[in-house]
Structure 1
Amino acid sequence: MTDTTIEIILQRMSAILDCWQLKALRKELELVTESQPQSPFRNEQLLASFITAKQVEGCSEKTLAYYRDTLARMTSTLDKSYSRINSNDLRQYLNDYEAQRHASKVTIDNIRRIMSSFFSWLEDEDYIVKSPVRRIKRVKTAVVAKETFTDEQLEAIRTECHSIRNLAVVDMLASTGMRIGELVNLNRSDIDFRERECIVTGKGNKQRPVYFDARTKQSLITYLKTRHDSNPALFTTLSGEPRRATIDAIESQLRSIGESCNAGRVHPHKFRRTLATHAIDKGMPIEQVQKLLGHAKIDTTMRYAMVNQNNVKASHRKYLE
């Protein structure tokens, strides 16, 4: 008798048995199951199949690793067949994880979302009858207003760029709002200088056009004139044999620039958030900002952007007074 069979029996008997009788029945069925050969679908096999399914969907290697590590840790801690894991097991796991690791509510909700995706997949594939995560509500997290760059800070950062490559990187991030992973994967052939646009490949291997301003165009042209190599990458290393620039290297350069010009913590994502905030602040429809940033859901765009409170006040006077 498989674990799935037990769940089906319990579900069918739930209409005529009370909760105590169902628990007693489950215990007896599990005792019978333990004396039989184990199901061929072990936890490791199911987890591997889930990761493969996510890979086919287009998830990045970084995302796949996060899914794999998170679910493997849960599996090891609970030490139970997936079909026997219930809502209380998962609630206790999340509670213990938060307490032992001093994890934030955001982290705990991320783990909950991954577990929800996994157990929903198990349900859809008929490995379990019902996902135990259905009864676990979304973890409420505090809404923290994240910082954006001021115009003065952006100019200070540009001034502090002592290499033309770094200036082109800063201008590209600031004017397009692209992700750092999208930027390092760009090739010279991807740039359309006449239309001031390029095609980037974002999450899920989805492509979208992004647009840059005239200043960025000039920075890119000036930078490329200094290149005498055949490397197809748009941005290469600053020294040695030209190689495609890495995310870590550019992030390190930006941190150093920020420290030198007292512009606070400078990182690629802050340019993206700044662009989204300024776009909405100046009246760009949120749906267009969503397309610009390559977000699948508009809720994600709203979390990136912070509307200027002065504009809210002005709009109240314009439309409501």
Structure 2
Amino acid sequence: MVTLELKGLHRVKAKGRIYWYAWRGGPRLLGTPGSPEFLASYNEAIANRQSPDSGRFRSLVALYRASTDYKKLAESTRRNWGPWLDRIAEHFGELRIAQFDRPEKIRPVIRRWRAAYGETPRSADYGMQVLSRVLSYAVDPLGKIASNPCEGIKQLYSGDRSEIIWTDGDIAHLKKTCSAEIAQAVDLAAHTGLRVGDLVRLSWSHVDENAIIIKSGKSRRQREAIIPLYQGLRDVLARIPKRSPVILTSSRKRPWTVNGLASSFSDAKKIAWPKGDNLHFHDLRGTAATKFYVDGLTEREIAELMAWEEEQVARIIRRYVGKQAAIKDRIKRLNEARQKSQP
């Protein structure tokens, strides 16, 4: 087939249709593969690439792809962002960069593009995140525009699950039918608040005498999570057999992968709740927040440990620990402070 002889062709399948591009992030080709129109548009794209128009938005996408900022992203992030960069280059590619320096004019154009994905708000917001990153790169370090026109455009998806937690009853219900390995993963998540990516690589060497200390993969190992070994967490660790240097293992006695744990966890939930439920693995972080509070950490300490806002933690405490428990805790602290102040 003629198209196989052309270098750099990029194939994208969207909504059941196949589109061809001269290269990843490059212009879309006209006609069907192998036709004279297809070859002509390919040759034109290659000629333009050799002498690119640096004033077009398409050049920003190419510059960002080649940047160290983009290359520093996790491989999984680049894999997810790649198709969005293709869509962004296709839609905005021929616009002049100068048009993005007029926020009041370009924002309606950006909103209309986002509206094309409005049926899936989270996907629309994800696309906006990628577009915003390209435009931020255009501001600094490129200096092509003065400000990012995506700033000030509100997200479509407003779901905040930070106040949803697994109760002890929910966890007990899941454990009736799930494997011991899934139960161990759930218990460890509920007692540490760690994200699944950090849980699957958590090793026994991360467990110190008084705390679990691990650099979070979410921050590209720049933020260190330090989780005190309170009694509940010690009990969970004591119940997990040491089959591997990594704490959590599958039924095959091998360390979990993120996808492997997610898939097995999803299957376990379907068995426990055949009619469905509203609980995600990530919601176990809220469960951990309540356990931290009950075991004596302050709302500020919990917020710092989990990289949340204090108000998020406070809402969880008010809702799930209960007003009476919170009031009793404050009374206890007030009495202790009063005793310390008395001569």
Structure 2 length-normalised TM:
0.63
Task: Determine the structure 2 residue equivalent to 1:49.
Answer: 66
Post-superposition Cα deviations, 1:85-120, rounded to whole Å, max 9, x if no partner, equal 43444533432433455122x544443343333212
Confirm or deny: 8 A CA contact 1:235 1:245 kept in the other structure: yes
1:178 aligns with one of 170, 187, 194: 194
More contact order relative to length (CA 8 Å, sep ≥ 6): 1
Could you tell me which amino acid in structure 2 is paired with residue 182 of structure 1? D
1:116 and 2:132 matched: yes
**Counterpart Cα distance in 2 of 1:76 and 1:97:** 14
Confirm or deny: 8 A CA contact 2:61 2:134 kept in the other structure: no
**Counterpart Cα distance in 2 of 1:245 and 1:211:** 24
1:72 and 2:89 matched: no
Shift in Å, 1:144: 5.2
After TM superposition, list the pairs within 5 Å mapping 1:106-255 onto structure 2.
106-133=122-149, 136-139=152-155, 142=158, 147-163=164-180, 165-192=181-208, 194-204=209-219, 205-206=221-222, 207-225=224-242, 227=243, 231-239=244-252, 242-255=253-266
2:271 aligns with one of 244, 248, 260: 260
**Counterpart Cα distance in 2 of 1:159 and 1:214:** 24
Gaps of 5+ in 1: 1-33
Post-superposition Cα deviations, 1:209-251, rounded to whole Å, max 9, x if no partner, equal 22454354344344325x3xxx532223312xx5321112212
1:306 and 2:307 matched: no
Cα 1:80–1:149 change in 2 (3 A) is: same
**Counterpart Cα distance in 1 of 2:158 and 2:290:** 19
Confirm or deny: 8 A CA contact 1:156 1:261 kept in the other structure: yes
Task: Determine the structure 2 residue equivalent to 1:13.
Answer: none
Task: Determine the structure 2 residue equivalent to 1:291.
Answer: 304
Shift in Å, 1:178: 0.3
Could you tell me which amino acid in structure 2 is paired with residue 121 of structure 1? Y
Shift in Å, 1:203: 1.5
Could you tell me which amino acid in structure 2 is paired with residue 60 of structure 1? A
Could you tell me which amino acid in structure 2 is paired with residue 201 of structure 1? S
Identify, as 1 or 2, the structure richer in helix.
1
Cα 1:284–1:216 change in 2 (3 A) is: closer
Aligned length: 267
Post-superposition Cα deviations, 1:274-304, rounded to whole Å, max 9, x if no partner, equal 32356568985443222221x2x638x7289
Cα 1:82–1:116 change in 2 (3 A) is: farther
Shift in Å, 1:308: 3.0
SS at match of 1:224: coil
Post-superposition Cα deviations, 1:161-189, rounded to whole Å, max 9, x if no partner, equal 442x3332121101001000001112232
Confirm or deny: 8 A CA contact 1:273 1:305 kept in the other structure: no
1:63 and 2:77 matched: yes
Shift in Å, 1:73: 1.5
Could you tell me which amino acid in structure 1 is paired with residue 248 of structure 2? F
Structure 1 length-normalised TM:
0.66
Cα 1:200–1:260 change in 2 (3 A) is: farther
Could you tell me which amino acid in structure 1 is paired with residue 303 of structure 2? Q
Computed over aligned residues only, the root mean square deviation of the Cα atoms, in angstroms, reads: 3.8
Shift in Å, 1:271: 0.5
Cα 1:126–1:267 change in 2 (3 A) is: closer
Task: Determine the structure 2 residue equivalent to 1:103.
Answer: 120
Could you tell me which amino acid in structure 1 is paired with residue 265 of structure 2? L
Confirm or deny: 8 A CA contact 1:178 1:210 kept in the other structure: no
**Counterpart Cα distance in 1 of 2:76 and 2:91:** 23
Could you tell me which amino acid in structure 2 is paired with residue 76 of structure 1? E
SS at match of 1:306: helix
Could you tell me which amino acid in structure 1 is paired with residue 91 of structure 2? T
Cα 1:137–1:161 change in 2 (3 A) is: closer
Cα 1:183–1:282 change in 2 (3 A) is: closer
SS at match of 1:308: helix
SS at match of 1:149: coil
Cα 1:76–1:289 change in 2 (3 A) is: same
Task: Determine the structure 2 residue equivalent to 1:276.
Answer: 289
